Amino acid sequence: DTEVTQTPKHLVMGMTNKKSLKCEQHMGHRAMYWYKQKAKKPPELMFVYSYEKLSINESVPSRFSPECPNSSLLNLHLHALQPEDSALYLCASSPGAASRRWGNTIYFGEGSWLTVV
Amino acid sequence: DAKTTQPTSMDCAEGRAANLPCNHSTISGNEYVYWYRQIHSQGPQYIIHGLKNNETNEMASLIITEDRKSSTLILPHATLRDTAVYYCIVRDLTLRANTGNQFYFGTGTSLTVIP
């Protein structure tokens, strides 16, 4: 089972709203990721959590706030977003340690479509 | 990280083999080659990965040249459902402590399977 579950699938929010995107995996993976993808562009890495600690922040604006409550869950808190933040937000996970078999492959969820109005 | 170069788009006739090339001329000895695809409006799907040897699974085959500077993903019998953007990524699996595994996507190849 290589499933990463993201909720909600679609979210529309105003620029003054506070909302959250949620991600869950039950594969025992210890690394989790947030990516942002605009239309017709490749996914762009935002954050990496490794063993529940934030290890990489790709200079993401503070209106995006990640949280990793435990090894299975990853949240992305959204506040005061702009219309240009409208995009597909992808969560992913990987074992967190390289192995000869799986090579630390990353598995993606189906994404949350965010529209900021 | 080593960068990859892929053609922007390709067409393939249904039922024929689709051969998707990728150049990674600056790849280092510890870097694996990964292939993912993304069907419209879905999350990227893992296809296959390899280091030196050719690899095959139920989805595809991966051919890596002896000098490892390029590779080819082969979909042996393309179907309409294989229409997607295909991404070739190289990644060092020698993990630094507590850094996770950064996967950076290039622009990919948009494959269209034609009936």
The whole-number average pLDDT for the span A85-110 is 81
Strands A112-116 and A10-13: parallel
Tell me what pLDDT residue A18 has: 96
The answer to whether the CB atoms of B105 and A42 lie below 8 A apart is: yes
Tell me what pLDDT residue B101 has: 60
Contacts (Cβ under 8 Å, ≥6 apart) of A35: A43, A44, A45, A46, A89, A90, A91, A92, A108
Tell me what pLDDT residue B106 has: 86
Per-residue pLDDT tens digits for A23-51? 999 898 888 999 999 999 999 999 999 88
Per-residue pLDDT tens digits for B8-63? 999 999 999 999 999 999 888 888 899 999 998 899 999 999 999 899 999 999 99
Question: Could you give the CA distance from residue A71 to residue B98 in angstroms, rounded to a whole number?
Answer: 14
pLDDT higher than threshold 70 for residue A101: no
Question: Could you give the CA distance from residue B102 to residue B90 in angstroms, rounded to a whole number?
Answer: 10
The whole-number average pLDDT for the span A60-76 is 96
Per-residue pLDDT tens digits for B52-94? 989 999 999 999 999 999 999 999 999 999 999 999 998 876 6
Which residues of A sit within 8 Å Cβ distance of B?
A: 2, 4, 31, 33, 42-45, 48-51, 53, 55-56, 88, 90, 92, 94, 96-98, 103-111
pLDDT higher than threshold 70 for residue B95: no
- Residue from A36, A108, A114 whose CB has the most chain B CBs within 10 Å, to mutate: A108
Local structure of B82: helix, strand or coil: helix
Query: How would you class A70 by CB atoms within 10 Å of its CB: exposed for 0-12, middle for 13-18, buried for 19 or more?
Result: exposed
Per-residue tokens: A96: 């967190």
- Which residues of chain B does A29 touch, with a Cβ-Cβ cutoff of 8 Å? none
Question: Could you give the CA distance from residue A96 to residue A29 in angstroms, rounded to a whole number?
Answer: 6
